[in-house]
Each structure stands twice: as structure tokens, then as C-alpha cells.
Amino acid sequence: MSFNLSRRGFIASSAALSAAPMMAGAKVADAPVAGPQNPLVKQRADAQVFRHDDGYYYLTGSVPEYDRLVLRRSRTIAGLATAPEAVLWRHEKSGPMSGFLWAPELHLIDGKWIVYFAAGPSGGGEDVFRIRTYAVVCDGPDPMTGRWTVLGELQTPWDSFNLDSTIFTHKGTRYIAWAQREPGIETNSNLYIAKLESPLKLAGKATRLTVPTLDWEIRGYKVAEAPAILHRNRRLFMTYSASATDARYCLGMLSADENSDLLDAKSWTKSPQPVFTTCKETSVFGPGHNSFTVDEQGRDVLVYHGRDYETIQGDPLLNPDRHTRVQRLYYTADGTPDFGVPVGNGPLPERFASAADAKLLLAHDGTRLIAGNPALAQTQFRQTPGRAGQQSVMLSPILMPGHYLVAGKDGSVTLEPDSKSADFALRSQFVRLTDARLSTVRFAAIAAPGKAIGVANGQIRLVRSRDAAARWRAD
């Protein structure tokens, strides 16, 4: 929808835009939507994204047809959205790998590219869920163009349902973690870890890390699957997915000291509550089966899949709309990952901390703007192109889509729903100014020339754009 701003509004906006680059050496920021947008890749579930030392990001995941292994790569995370996709291998015409192919993961082991995946036989009925873990191997250094052939089946402790193998190296030792149904335990899958002797052979006894018993792990099915490892802040964090694959799907987490014996189940502590769940406010349902990567600035990024609607017809595994999504991963004061909530569709949000006091973040409590440090999701704002020209932007909290920061004539800054009026279109427009020397940004109000969003007496208000109180550090 377009708006006809008043003549006075156009004059004000033009003045603000033309004056913006002159303010204290600041410059108008680049277009705000150049980075990744969610969903990153539609209809790619069980997503794995990682940045290899060749400078590329690689992405693989389950396709809705479950009939092939695919891979794409790009120099940027955002570029994965449109990167060409190579088909590495297709399911066989008959036998144990002729049915569904699940959850591929790409790893470089001893100089060879290997994709682990789960597969079952074709033919229908319960037999298609006779799932086991297999691997294919590439004959060359380029996984996108090399020839892929079957390497074999992973040798697990029992001939039972197993999937979601991931490989990681810690203190020079290579480990494998996976999900499996253990005979004698009435669950769909538990989590296990072992040292890895070769790509398909364990180097000793496996350790059972966790069994799904908590209420949020057993909704629909008793599931602990899809382990993913993150080593940060002198600890290892292992996320995993729990419950049925509909809107009840969620992430749990185990943690261990980096110097502990990873093969001792007592080294790992389970989170009593899920760390990442469905969020109706942002319209992301059933987030799960995650991986971790870093963005182009080296900041941690969470990769996962989720639907953007709740009600599913039929088996959720046959629903194609589990989309690959990404978002920044933050940490609490004690170094534990803070996942927040799934941030929803659109450009990735940011957080803005006052340059004068890092404890004061631009935040909101419902429709009330505050300066503080509440829950992560209350401090995340999405920046989108504005309506007063290419250089204007609008700011919206992820928990309240359709609401925007609005400049008041009395110097207030409020959070209001889009009224679709010309007045709202003017007052909700800001110019993002960056100061590379100070590593700060400012949001100059088009409706109030010379004023910008800032902190005054502990409150979010319009302040003089040149004042230190108007400067924010974006993260």
C-alpha cells in the first residue's frame, strides 16, 4: 500500500534525509534487507548449514520427497536462498536404501567428503520406518561436482531404528553422536555418543546420554533425536529435538564441561525445560532439528526448521512446509546459549544497546517501550524499508508484528499498530545513521528533524540527534 504524505511531511522527510549524512560525521546506512531473510530456504527440513574453511557456506537437508540427497553452497548465508542445488545421490531402486532418505549431514573426514543419512526400504507399511544410518562418499575435493557412491552402513550397538548422526572433534578426539531406539527401553529414540574409529565404525562402547522422560520430550512420541554440538565458553552444548514433529516439536539441551569425560553420562546436565519452542506471536511452529554456524562477522547463528502455520492435515512428516530458518544466537551472563524465540519471517532482527549504558537496551513490555534488559525476544526489533524514500526505515518488535516505533510531537516514542494513515506513515519513518568511528547507529526521526530515538532519564524518547544519548550499539 502506498501513502500520499502531506506537503509538509515531504519537506520534513527531505530535510531529514538530506541532513542525515552531515550529522556528526554519520552516514546513512545501506539498505536494511541485504542480509538473510526467513525462511532462508523453503521446504528444506532437518537443515545443516556450516561454514567451511574454503570460505563457502554449505547447506543440506531433507527434501519433501525424501528421495535424494542435495547440497548447495554460497559465499554468504543469504546467498544460500538462491544458490544452485546439486543432487548428490538418489535412493536405490530396491533394498534397504530404496525408501525415504532422512536428515543428511555433510562432514569432511580424513580428507574425504562424507554424507551421513538415514534410510529405509520402499514398499509401504511399517517397513518404511526400518530406518538405519548409511553414508555416501565423494571421489573428489569438490562435494558439489564429485561423484558420490555408497560407503556403507554405520555400525551401531543394536540393529534397531537409528538416525541423525553428527560428527565432531574435541581435544583431538573424533566423536559421533546419534539417536537410536535401544531394545528394552520403551521410547522412540534416545541419544548416544561414542568415539569414532573410522567413518562407519565406533571406537569402543557407546554411552547413552539421555532418555526422553520429561513432559515436553514425550508429547505425541517419546523422542530425543537430532543432536548438534556447540563448543563455547569452556562448555560443550548438545541440543536435540524432542516430541512429535508437529507444533509440539522443540529443542532441549545437554551441557558438559569442556574438560570432562564426554563418554560419562554424568558429565552431561539436561535442561529441565525446552530451550526453543513454538512461538505463536512470531508464527513459527515446531522449531527443531537444528545445527550451528557462524555469520560473516563470526557471530554464532542457529539453523533450524519450522512451519509458519500450526494446523497440519495428515502425517506431519509428509507435510512439505518445514522451512530452513536462521537467526542470531545470544548468550546469558553465565555463558549459556539464549535461544529466545523463533524470530519469524522477514529480515533478521537486531538488538540495540545504549552506547552510554550497555545494560539499557531498546526493549518493550507489551505495547510499552522500555530501556532495560528483559527477555531476549523483547529486545529484538526488525528493520524494514520505510515509506518516505529508499533511505527511510521502520522498526518493529518481533513479538508484535504490525506494530512500529512512532515519533510523537511531544518527544515521545511509542509502539503503535499500523493505522494505514498518512500521518502514521510519516511518524513511523526514521533514518538509520552509522558512525563507523564509534561503532554506533542512530535513528533520526523524519517527523521531528534534529531528533532521534534515545534514552532520557531511563526512558525511550526523542533526544537531540547529536547527543550521546541517541547512540546505540547494534548487535
Are residues 337 and 352 part of one domain?
A: no
Whether 81 and 47 map to the same domain: the answer is: yes
Structural domain total, the chain? 2
Q: What is the mean pLDDT of residues 425-453?
A: 95
Q: Per the domain annotation, does 210 fall within a domain?
A: yes
Of 221, 232, 225, 282, nearest in space to 257 by CA: 232
CATH number reported for the structural domain that contains residue 60 in this entry: 2.115.10.20
Rounded to two decimals, the pTM is 0.94
Residue ending a domain, choose from 295, 321, 346 = 346
Q: How confident is the model at residue 9 (pLDDT cuts 50, 70, 90)?
A: very low
Higher pLDDT residue, 389 or 106? Answer: 106
Averaged pLDDT for residues 26-48: 81
Q: How many CB atoms lie within 10 A of CB 367?
A: 12
Give yes or no: residues 72 and 175 share one domain: yes
Identify whether 1 is part of a domain.
no
Q: How is residue 409 written as a grid cell?
A: 510531537
376 is a domain residue = yes
Q: Are 326 and 368 contained in the same domain?
A: no
- Tens digits of residue pLDDT in 180-226: 999 999 999 999 999 999 999 999 999 999 999 999 999 999 999 99
Q: What CATH number does residue 14 fall under?
A: 2.80.10.50
Please state the φ and ψ torsions of residue 435, each to the nearest 5 degrees: -125, 95
- Asked if 355 and 307 sit in the same domain, the reply is no
C-alpha–C-alpha distance, residues 429 and 444, integer Å: 9
Residue 83 lies in a domain: yes
Tell me if 113 is assigned to some domain.
yes
Tell me, yes or no, whether 296 lies in a domain: yes
Task: Give the rounded percent of residues in the chain with a pLDDT score beyond 90.
Answer: 90
What digits encode the pLDDT tens for the residues 324-342?
999 999 999 999 999 999 9
pLDDT band at 26; cut points 50, 70, 90: low
Q: Are 348 and 327 in contact (CB under 8 A)?
A: yes
Same domain, 383 and 296: no
Q: Verify that 87 and 204 share a domain, yes or no.
A: yes
| Of 343, 371, 342, residue with least CA distance to 356 | 371
- Please indicate, yes or no, if residue 2 is contained in any of the structural domains: no
Considering the domain architecture, whether residues 355 and 266 belong to the same structural domain is answered as no
- Asked if residue 318 and residue 355 are part of one domain, the reply reads no
Is 148 in the same domain as 281?
yes
Domain end, chosen from 346, 368, 387, is at 346
Transcribe 51-107 into DSSP letters.
Answer: E-TTS-EEEEEE-TT--EEEEEEESSTGGGGT--EEEEEE--SSSTTSS-EEEEEEE
Asked if 48 and 168 sit in the same domain, the reply is: yes
What are 52-111's pLDDT values in tens digits? 999 999 999 999 999 999 999 999 999 999 999 999 999 999 999 999 999 999 999 999
- Enzyme catalytic residues: 46, 225
Residues 289-307 have a mean pLDDT of: 98
Choose one of 346, 368, 395: the last residue of a domain.
346
Q: Which of 455, 397, 395 is nearest to 427 (CA)?
A: 395
Q: Are residues 166 and 239 in the same domain?
A: yes
Per-residue pLDDT band at 32 (split at 50, 70, 90): very low
Instruction: Give phi and psi for 113, each to the nearest 5.
Output: -80, 125
Residue 379 included in any domain: yes
State the residue range of the domain holding 440.
Answer: 7-33+348-474
Is the bond into 39 cis (omega within 30 degrees of 0)? yes
Q: Can you give the pLDDT at residue 25?
A: 54
